[in-house]
A and B are shown apart, each in its own frame.
Chain A
Amino acid sequence: MNGATWLSYSLQDFVMFGPEVFLRLFARINQDLWPWLLLWPLAGLVLPWFGRQAAELPRRLAMALAGLAWIGCGYLFLVRYYGPVNWPATGFGWAFVVQGLLLLLLKGRALPAPMTWPAAVSWWLAILLLPWLSVLEMPDLWALALFGLAPGVTVAATVLLFARQPSPLRWLLLALPLAWTLFSAATYWALGTFWLLGFPVATLVLLVVAFRVNPSPAQTPDSQSVRPGPGRQSP
């Protein structure tokens, strides 16, 4: 195709499903997984409590829970439910699963330092308030976008953890959330589901918050204690 042909396409030409189909994905997955779906938001609620501990093990657990959330929304929401109506969602879904596995494998490099209170509060606000955005679009409680299942909420909350990682791991972990943010914003815009634009916007806001409330891990005293240095071997 030449340049002129490409220019004749609009964003809407790339969206192959309607808003009703997309919004019903939230309700369908919640109804199909009821009551087990409650495990994900519960995990989301306790995650900052683990993340705030000084001991390393609970912080590893926090990262592992985040990993499970990524696997949950990658495989269930994106691959199983969203993929059949939108090809790129399947690719994103498997990438989410790989990112989740990466988080599980991170082990000792989990959270370099305990989560700060502002980060924890931002986290809770994200997973308690953002789910209602999909209900504002589709007035049905079943349509709640839950942490661990809905990608928008999961991505927005977990960037708070990824921004804590030392470079270059931080940027490796942030690449997919940023790609998803761009992709989902374009999709919601084209669908005309403007409330859902709150997910990508919240992700960017939380990213800024994360960088502001979390000084670079390399500069925090407690981060030095958990990061393996040249003279120190991790077990």
Chain B
Amino acid sequence: MLELSRRRFLIGVGLSGLAVASPRLMAAGSSAGEQAFHSRPIPSTGESVPAIGMGTWITFNVGGDQYLIDQRTRVLETFLERNGTVIDCSPMYGSAADVIGAGLDKLHAHDRIFAATKIWTSDGSETREQAATSERRWGIDRFDLLQVHNLLAWQEHLATLKEMKAEGRVRYIGITTSHGRRHSELARVMETEPLDFVQLTYNVLDREAEERLLPLARERGIAVLVNRPFQGGSLFRRFQSEPLPSWAGEAGVGNWAEFFLKFIISHPAVTCAIPATTSVEHMQENMGAMYGQLPDASQRRMMAEYVRQL
């Protein structure tokens, strides 16, 4: 769980007010010599989180394979070294929670993360039990964020999550969807429920969220976690062999990972994108998107147009 460090406190308090107006102004660093990184405030509290997090679907589900557990621990270590904190998981992701737990143990990093998982059961009475099981698997006392996975039994789970938040058993609550599914239903929940976070799919090709959900999140003061930022990896398969546009440097983009991620985190409603990877090199690339200049609104339009033409 995240304990606010002095650096993050300064970033959060000092810069959160500026962030909504201009994501470009939200780059923050602690001291001379350390590069500034982009972070975003969680609207319901103003607390800041780094704009790039880490997903764990498929990538961290390695079972009892010690060689791969060690390798994924190095991926996690790289993430933390580059100032990442937000880690997203779900009981649906097989052994991923245990692998995160093993990595956190080895790196003594339980208090350096913003721990986010989901409630994924059709039994609406199992919310607390499943949260407790996930806490045990991660080796933490409580989650920063608990989300109802894919709106599954959301009425029951959300009612319990609200109670848990009031009791201090969790800091933030939210709800997730992906692949553009059930946006109308999610919008209704966002309009009527006191959510801290929503999680949805948004990337340079899947932009449906721009129409309703992202503006609604801004209006209602709900933080947005973005899943499938690389469309599950297919953006690389489709575009990596193509050249970056000649103006990429002006938009602060040095490679395709930065192209895809900076497109996302420069949207003013987005709080944090959560790409997943099995590779230390890819993690380094992805975390690179948290640094340097971000594209402005017109450059974002050019980015979307460029990939559409490819």
Q: How far is the CB of B270 from chain A (nearest CB, A)?
A: 23
A122 close to chain B: CB less than 8 A: no
| Binary contact track B64-76/A, C-beta < 8 Å → 1, others 0 | 1101100000000
Q: Which residue in chain B gives the minimum CB-CB distance to A81?
A: B63
B61→A17 contact, CB < 8 A = yes
Encode contact with B along A1-37: 1 for CB under 8 Å, 0 otherwise: 0000100110011011110110011001000000000
B65 & A17 in contact (Cβ 8 Å cutoff): no
A21 touches B179 (CB 8 A): no
What per-residue 1/0 map shows which CB atoms of B8-32 lie under 8 Å from chain A?
A: 0000000000000000000000000
Q: Is the CB of B68 within 8 A of A86?
A: no
Contact B181 A8 (CB under 8 A): yes
What chain B residues lie within 8 Å of A17 (beta carbons)? 58, 61-63, 94
Asked whether A84 lies within 8 Å of B64 as measured between CB atoms, the reply is yes
How many residues in B have their beta carbons less than 8 Å from beta carbons of A? Answer: 20
| Residue B245 CB within 8 A of the other chain | no
Residues of A contacting B63 in the complex (Cβ-Cβ under 8 angstroms) = 17, 21, 25, 81-82, 84-85
Q: How many A-B residue pairs have CB under 8 A?
A: 49
Contacts of B93 in A (CB 8 A): 16
- Looking at chain B's contact residues, the main secondary structure is loop
| Distance in Å: Cβ of A39 to nearest Cβ of chain B | 23
- Indicate whether A183 reaches chain B with its CB closer than 8 angstroms: no
User: Which residues of chain A come closer than 8 Å to B59, judged between CB atoms?
Assistant: 18
Name the residue of chain B whose CB is nearest to the CB of A18.
B58
Q: Which residues of A contact B67 (CB under 8 A)?
A: 24
Per DSSP, are chain A's interface residues mostly helix, strand or loop, or mixed? helix
Alpha-carbon distance A28/B67, docked complex (angstroms): 10
Contacting pair A21 B65 (CB below 8 A): yes
Inter-chain CA distance A13–B64, complex, in Å, is: 23
In the complex the two chains form, what is the Cα distance from A6 to B182 in whole Å? 11
A117 contacts B by Cβ under 8 Å: no
Nearest CB on A from B66, distance (A):
9
B interface list, Cβ under 8 A from A: 57-59, 61-65, 67-68, 92-95, 179-182, 232, 278
Kindly list 17 other residue pairs between chains A and B, CB separation below 8 angstroms, not including A8-B180, A84-B94. Answer: A5-B181, A13-B179, A16-B58, A16-B92, A17-B61, A17-B63, A17-B94, A18-B59, A20-B278, A21-B62, A21-B63, A24-B67, A81-B64, A84-B64, A84-B95, A85-B62, A85-B95
